[in-house]
Structure 1
Amino acid sequence: MPTLSDALGVGDDSVLVAVGAGGKKSLLYSLADELPDAVVTATVKMPKFGGKVERTVLTDDPVSAAREAEERPLGLARDGDRSDRYLGYDPDVVDDLAEAGATPLLVKGDGARTRLLKAPKEGEPPVPSAATVVVPLASVRVVGQPLTEEAVHRPKRVAELTDLAAGNEIRPKHVADVLAHPDGGLKNVPEDADAVPVVNMADTEETVETAREVAERVLERAPSVPRVLVTRLIHDDPVVDVVERD
């Protein structure tokens, strides 16, 4: 299998934005391990970087901080109002970082409150226009669960994008419907960016097959999507499969 960065098409000049649910932070930190010059930041609130980056700088001037800090991977954020979280930057500030050459730039562009699936509300997700790769995520573990707030962030929005009613069982087609929908996983993807969905947490034979089914259905629904990754992002070999068009 290819590396995660190769499978996503992320290189030295890339700006990747992770949205959706079910592994955004794991994705960003896996990429930071592969891309030692990476800068990690967010357009939303995010948990503290911990030991996942070489240096953390809390600043309202991330462009200057990126120019001055030599350590990489570098974490950039603003100080928050909670001890366990940072604040992100407006998308145009992230655009400034990209223009200043602070790449590869890895951006958390959505919040999902640790749920396994999400559909964005109005105004979400805040994707910077400089994005070159947007990665909508979902966890395969949501398949078989009921459409409730325990498993899904914004279940009412998911219901609007699918034929599901509250409490109904989520099937692979429903996950694909969300990932492939222009008001779901593909919302706010810049015209020049690649959208590469990821179906994560596929760590058993059964979940791998289910994730492949989701991936194939996404490709059927979304002609603009070049491929879908099946992953287990907390493992040393995170890419399980790359499902491409025939």
Structure 2
Amino acid sequence: MCIKSNPSQKLRPLMDIAPGDMVCVMGAGGKATLMKRLIREMLDEPFPVIITSTTNLHALGGEDAPPVLLSEAGRAELQSAAQDWSGRGAVVWVEKKLPQNMFRGLEASQVEALHTSGFDGVMVVKTDGARKRLIKAPGPGEPVIPVGATHCVLVLGLAAIGRTADEGIVHRLEKVRAIAGLEAGEVIGTPHLAKLACHPESYQSRFPNSAKRILYLSHCTSPKALEDAQAIFEAIPDGIYDYLLTGDSIAGNFYCRRANP
């Protein structure tokens, strides 16, 4: 099945995200930009949005960046904190401010407690880090996915294709080489990203059974990148992902292929 030729300008409908959902984002090559896109699309919706992380979170800059709620500032109690997001809009809820424009995220148990407390909005949760690399493999204990996750979104950067596999491009280089079959100094191709997306030692084995499984290939900014995404999707066996998506998170052009029609 081919990718739909006409792009969508909205990402949230392609992921079937609705109030009450917890969307967990992981991988490398555009997690923050993807999260910003989802937030922007939901700012005018009649439900609140919480952005948080079970690891560290870079500040979401920009004029339309949501306000930040710090647990360490006496806001740890859910009942008290709820007043800050009870209306429409979005808020970043984290533990504390860190150096270099970073925040420490919340414990998974705090995210779980909020999700089960009757919160009727959407939660967007970053669940691992990648040190700004384009692709990665999960480390021990990664990703930290809270119980109750409804969506697991794996991000991989198409911009890695055609570049040499080194530590400037790849996070956890040795593990990625082992999973993807990359030799030292080899140029990254579409088969390598496909293996990284579906290998049993990569992310797909760590998704909760109850969550929608979504692969998002970022940096789809040219016809060649769209062809690369199609090649990757065709190499992924049926049954691993529910949705196969690619797009340009900044420009707002998205393409989908339903993996399990």
TM over 0.5: yes
Alignment partner of 1:227 is 2:258: no
Aligned partner of 2:57 in structure 1 is 46
Aligned partner of 2:257 in structure 1 is 242
5+ residue gaps, structure 1: none
| CA shift digits 1:34-73 (9 cap, x unpaired) | 2232111111101113344432111141634541104521
Alignment partner of 1:76 is 2:93: yes
Aligned partner of 2:218 in structure 1 is 200
- Alignment partners' CA distance in 2, 1:63 and 1:188: 28
Alignment of 1:1-246 (within 5 A): 1-2=7-8, 3-36=10-43, 37-51=48-62, 52-60=64-72, 61=76, 63-64=78-79, 66-70=81-85, 72-102=89-119, 103-218=121-236, 220=237, 223-235=239-251, 237-242=252-257, 244=259
- Alignment partners' CA distance in 2, 1:73 and 1:130: 20
| SS of aligned partner of 2:92 | strand
Q: Which residue type is aligned with residue 11 of structure 1? A: A
More divergent stretch after superposition (79-88 vs 188-197) = 79-88
- Alignment partners' CA distance in 1, 2:215 and 2:171: 18
Report the TM-score when normalising by structure 1. 0.92
Q: Which residue type is aligned with residue 242 of structure 1? A: R
Q: How many residues align?
A: 243
More divergent stretch after superposition (158-167 vs 44-53) = 44-53
More divergent stretch after superposition (77-86 vs 136-145) = 77-86
Greater relative contact order structure (CA < 8 Å, 6+ sep): 2
Query: Structure 1 residues 80, 169: closer, same or farther in 2, change over 3 A?
Result: same
| CA shift digits 1:197-244 (9 cap, x unpaired) | 1001010111111112112222x2x52312210111011x33134353
| CA shift digits 1:171-209 (9 cap, x unpaired) | 101101111123323242111001101001010111111
Q: CA deviation at 1:138?
A: 0.4
More divergent stretch after superposition (49-58 vs 74-83) = 49-58
| CA shift digits 1:86-138 (9 cap, x unpaired) | 00112121111111233300011111111110101111111111110000010
Aligned partner of 2:4 in structure 1 is none
| SS of aligned partner of 1:196 | strand
More divergent stretch after superposition (18-27 vs 54-63) = 54-63
- Alignment partners' CA distance in 2, 1:63 and 1:224: 36
- Alignment partners' CA distance in 2, 1:151 and 1:62: 40
Query: Structure 1 residues 183, 208: closer, same or farther in 2, change over 3 A?
Result: same
User: Contact 2:191/2:232 (CA < 8 Å) preserved in 1?
Assistant: yes
More divergent stretch after superposition (64-73 vs 186-195) = 64-73
- Alignment partners' CA distance in 2, 1:123 and 1:183: 12
Identity of aligned residues (%): 24
CA RMSD of aligned residues (A): 1.8
- Alignment partners' CA distance in 1, 2:97 and 2:168: 26
Query: Structure 1 residues 62, 150: closer, same or farther in 2, change over 3 A?
Result: farther
Largest Rg, 1 or 2: 2
Query: Structure 1 residues 243, 168: closer, same or farther in 2, change over 3 A?
Result: farther
5+ residue gaps, structure 2: 1-6
- Alignment partners' CA distance in 1, 2:117 and 2:41: 22
